[in-house]
């Protein structure tokens, strides 16, 4: 009986809905007709609708926290016997991390193939060497232990080991994607330095010194790490110079996605929150590098700053990275510092072209009071606040600090891939920005 009564109540409710719909149908159809008739006019008048459509996929599994290395053994059970252990210049041995990782690999019954010597700006020569090692040993998994450069390098090797073409030409110069049926090696990452976001994206930056080129290839989701270990305590031993360079790399990733479009976009609200969190935590970490809360927040922010989420619905503007990477290709300077050195000159150069967003940046990120000020004044105060924060944490403020000179400006300009957001840059624009950054 109770079920019957319940059914009757549902039937009555359904009938009431139908009756109400019939009563309002004419009004509804009239409004619907009006909407579609007026839609072209709305779109013509309002050009600030959220940009376009997009798809989002990120297959990387993250293990975060002080004990997250304990998750490695379980992850290893998903892969074959032979693991290529890729790392840098030996810092993981000095900190004891190398021994811990090797112990876990041994307990899991893995055969370890050593692949040491990945430099902070991975070279094309090292890429070729890694491919040879991986192919000769028929590795089943690449385990990258280190900062973003090691993760970047691992992706290049993973995509290139089993192809017949020259990977530098195919992926970096010609910017092609791996073939649909390509054999791609799986990657796992254990992160020791934050900044690049490489632990949860498809980015791979490789330097060719002979060609004076440093190119970032963004691979599809097949090259994203299968898993990443994020233990904030592993970042405690990073020297201050590299630490703050990583902080600015994070900030630059956020700004280069933020400074595009003028529409009302959820991505920008997320981005502003991440920037504010980074600013707050970086100030703590600079004075106390072992503050776990600050370093864990920065590590988490770095991951979300470049796992493509806050770039969705955005045209984006990566010219700071293009110019900074060109400086790095010529001088081999630390990546985050090259970005810092050109950021203020670049943003002042384009500020008039993206004025509304710079005003929003000033107010929402830096809490600039806009009372009785012009938009330009507000925007410039925001850039000044950014500059003050950069000085506070101790990053490079001039490109001369990272090896740029009057003599190599032309080489850097030649190595810069042109583009832009609010303002499309020419080679002459790049030269002007570089001169202003000295």
**Domains held by the chain: number:** 2
pLDDT of residue 90: 84
How does residue 410 score in pLDDT terms, banded at 50, 70 and 90? very high
β pairing state of 61-64 and 82-86: unpaired
CA distance 340 to 330: 16
pLDDT digits (tens, 9 = 90+) for 156-190: 999 999 999 999 999 999 999 999 999 999 999 99
pLDDT of residue 28: 33
Does residue 224 sit in the same domain as residue 343? no
Average pLDDT over residues 428-432: 98
Q: Is the residue at 114 inside a domain?
A: yes
SS (H, E, C) 322-383: HHHHHHHHHHCCCHHHHHHHHHHHHHHHHCCCCHHHHHHHHHHHHCCCCCCCCHHHHHHHHH
Does residue 316 sit in the same domain as residue 210? no
pLDDT of residue 267: 96
Does residue 423 sit in the same domain as residue 402? yes
Q: Is the residue at 77 inside a domain?
A: yes
How does residue 2 score in pLDDT terms, banded at 50, 70 and 90? very low
How does residue 33 score in pLDDT terms, banded at 50, 70 and 90? very low
Q: Is the residue at 363 inside a domain?
A: yes
Does residue 256 sit in the same domain as residue 230? no
Average pLDDT over residues 134-156: 98
Does residue 311 sit in the same domain as residue 351? yes
Q: Is the residue at 48 inside a domain?
A: no
Does residue 183 sit in the same domain as residue 247? no
pLDDT digits (tens, 9 = 90+) for 279-290: 999 999 999 999
How does residue 64 score in pLDDT terms, banded at 50, 70 and 90? very high
Does residue 309 sit in the same domain as residue 191? no
Average pLDDT over residues 414-428: 97
pLDDT digits (tens, 9 = 90+) for 5-23: 333 333 334 333 333 433 3
From 235, 257, 277, the end of a domain falls on 235
Indicate the average pLDDT of the chain.
Answer: 90
Q: Is the residue at 152 inside a domain?
A: yes
Q: Alpha carbon 274 to chain centroid distance?
A: 12
pLDDT of residue 51: 60
How does residue 346 score in pLDDT terms, banded at 50, 70 and 90? very high
CA-closest candidate to residue 262, choices 119, 421, 115: 421
On the 0-12 / 13-18 / 19+ scale of CB atoms within 10 A, 106 is exposed
pLDDT digits (tens, 9 = 90+) for 296-306: 999 999 999 99
* 110 three-state secondary structure: coil
Q: Are 351 and 383 in contact (CB under 8 A)?
A: yes
Q: Which domain holds residue 97?
A: 61-235
Does residue 224 sit in the same domain as residue 338? no
Residue 111 predicted with pLDDT over 50: yes
From 177, 205, 235, the end of a domain falls on 235
Average pLDDT over residues 396-416: 97
Domain holding 188: CATH number? 3.40.50.1970
CA distance 134 to 143: 12
Does residue 172 sit in the same domain as residue 208? yes
In this structure, the dihedral spanned by the alpha carbons of residues 284, 288, 291 and 296, taken in order and rounded to 10 degrees, is 60
Does residue 159 sit in the same domain as residue 256? no
pLDDT digits (tens, 9 = 90+) for 270-281: 999 999 999 999
Residue 46 predicted with pLDDT over 60: no
Domain holding 320: CATH number? 1.20.1090.10
In this structure, the dihedral spanned by the alpha carbons of residues 112, 115, 121 and 124, taken in order and rounded to 10 degrees, is -120
Residue 131 predicted with pLDDT over 60: yes
Average pLDDT over residues 221-229: 98
pLDDT digits (tens, 9 = 90+) for 305-324: 999 999 999 999 999 999 99
CA-closest candidate to residue 333, choices 207, 220, 177, 211: 207
How does residue 53 score in pLDDT terms, banded at 50, 70 and 90? confident
Q: Is the residue at 4 inside a domain?
A: no
Q: Alpha carbon 45 to chain centroid distance?
A: 34
Token reading at 285? 């970490």
Share of the chain above pLDDT 90, in %: 87
Q: Is the residue at 36 inside a domain?
A: no
Q: Is the residue at 364 inside a domain?
A: yes
Does residue 268 sit in the same domain as residue 397? yes
Average pLDDT over residues 31-44: 32
From 176, 207, 235, the end of a domain falls on 235
CA distance 53 to 152: 28
Does residue 82 sit in the same domain as residue 200? yes
Average pLDDT over residues 238-242: 97
CA-closest candidate to residue 385, choices 363, 359, 366: 366
Residue 32 predicted with pLDDT over 70: no
pLDDT of residue 50: 55
């Amino acid at each position: 009986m109770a079920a019957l009564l319940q059914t009757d109540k549902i039937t009555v409710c359904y009938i009431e809905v139908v009756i109400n719909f019939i009563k309002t149908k004419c009004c509804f159809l009239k409004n619907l007709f009006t909407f579609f008739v007026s839609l072209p006019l709305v779109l013509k008048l309002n050009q600030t609708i959220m940009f376009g459509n997009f798809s989002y996929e990120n297959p990387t599994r993250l293990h975060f926290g002080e004990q997250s290395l304990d998750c490695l053994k379980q992850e290893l059970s998903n892969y074959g016997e032979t693991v290529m252990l890729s790392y840098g210049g030996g810092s993981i041995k000095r900190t004891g991390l190398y021994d811990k990782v090797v112990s876990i690999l041994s307990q899991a019954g893995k055969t370890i193939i050593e692949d040491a010597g990945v430099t902070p700006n991975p070279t094309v020569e090292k890429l070729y060497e890694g491919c040879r090692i991986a192919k000769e040993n028929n590795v089943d998994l690449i385990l990258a232990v280190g900062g973003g450069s090691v993760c970047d390098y691992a992706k290049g090797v993973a995509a290139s080991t089993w192809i017949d073409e020259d990977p530098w030409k195919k992926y970096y110069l010609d910017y092609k994607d791996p073939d649909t049926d390509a054999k791609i090696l799986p990657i796992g990452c254990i992160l020791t330095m934050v900044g690049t976001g490489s632990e949860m994206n498809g980015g791979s930056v490789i330097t060719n010194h002979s060609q004076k080129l440093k190119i970032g290839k963004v691979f599809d989701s097949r090259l994203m790490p299968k898993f990443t270990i994020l233990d904030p305590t592993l970042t405690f031993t990073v020297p201050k110079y590299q630490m703050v360079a990583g902080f600015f790399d994070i900030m630059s990733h956020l700004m280069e996605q933020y400074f595009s479009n003028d529409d009302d976009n959820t991505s920008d609200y997320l981005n502003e929150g991440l920037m504010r969190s980074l600013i707050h935590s970086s100030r703590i970490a600079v004075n106390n590098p072992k503050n776990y809360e600050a370093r864990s927040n920065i590590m988490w922010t770095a991951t979300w700053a470049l796992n493509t989420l806050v770039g969705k619905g955005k045209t984006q503007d990566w010219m700071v990275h293009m110019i900074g990477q060109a400086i790095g290709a010529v001088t081999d300077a630390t990546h985050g510092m090259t970005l810092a050195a050109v950021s203020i000159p670049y943003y002042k150069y384009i500020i008039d072209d993206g004025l509304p967003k710079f005003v929003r940046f000033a107010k929402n990120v830096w809490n600039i009071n806009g009372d009785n000020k012009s938009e330009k004044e507000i925007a410039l105060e925001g850039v000044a606040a950014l500059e003050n924060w950069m000085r506070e944490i101790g990053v490079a403020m001039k490109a001369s600090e990272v090896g740029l000179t009057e003599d190599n400006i032309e080489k850097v300009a030649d190595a810069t891939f042109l583009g832009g957001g609010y303002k499309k840059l020419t080679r002459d624009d790049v030269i002007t920005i570089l001169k202003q950054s000295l």
